[in-house]
Amino acid sequence: MKPELAGVKALTFDVFGTVVDWRGSIAREVRAFAQEKKLRVNASKFADAWRSGYRPAMNRVANGELPWTKIDVLHRMILDEVLLKFRVTALSEAEKVQLNRVWHRLKPWPDTVRGLKLLKKKFTLSTLSNGNVALLNNMAKNAGLPWDLILSAEIFHHYKPDPEVYLGAADILGLQPQEIMMVAAHKEDLRAAARQGLRTALVLRPNEYGKGRHPDLSPEPAFDINAKDFVDLAAQLGI
């Protein structure tokens, strides 16, 4: 392990894309749902459209156009637009509520649970996600994610990459920023964490946006760790 990482006590994880496969999970549920209801929907494009509304919706909170609003509510606002766009009009309110909860049922990547169990031997493990606490807790119960605690943008009333989220995590964990390592598949999240003094680990998730649509996967020496997956992260942290 790099000697400058000896002081790390807690790992905080981005969740959507880093811990769980949002696109595959949503596409599977939408596909099954469409078959059952005899609808013609491109399930992967549906997932992409839903996710693409995510950053603009959070920006409306960040710029004050909306008051503090949980991701569950933002997801529902976006879902209503996506259903219109895909001309899916036959859903009852109860079915929309159930569909919106798919974000509580996202499935982990194959290495996630094994990697987290290894990492938990040495570190405090927490989410640090824009997902709300109930969503993250339900996901953890469904998927067997062994978090020590669940921290969320919801607790700080700021969405990542606002500094309040990273500094809030340090304050509430009772740690210095450099005692925390942010783990994410997204470079912007890590750069924002690093600006507040947190350590950083990039974990590659080449299939987050679907096979063949690769996000920026180049390792960056500016991050403390560049890892293939959570098991590799554990190895690089001396476990």
Interface with its own copies, residue 79, by CB under 8 A? no
Quote the least distance from Cβ 151 to its own copies, whole Å.
Answer: 8
Task: State which of positions 111-130 bind its own copies (CB under 8 A).
Answer: 124
Q: How far is the CB of 124 from its own copies (least distance, A)?
A: 6
* 164 near its own copies, rule: CB under 8 A: no
Among 2, 55, 141, 214, binds its own copies (CB under 8 A): 141
Q: Which two tokens stand for residue 169?
A: 């995590």
How far is residue 135's CA from residue 72's CA, in Å, rounded to a whole number?
7
Judge whether 22 and 108 are in contact, CB under 8 Å: no
Which of the stretches 78-86, 145-153, 202-210, 216-224 binds its own copies when contact is defined by CB under 8 A? 145-153
* Closest separation in Å from C-beta 155 to its own copies: 6
Q: Which of 147, 159, 166, 223 binds its own copies (CB under 8 A)?
A: 147
Q: Closest CB to its own copies among 39 and 155?
A: 155
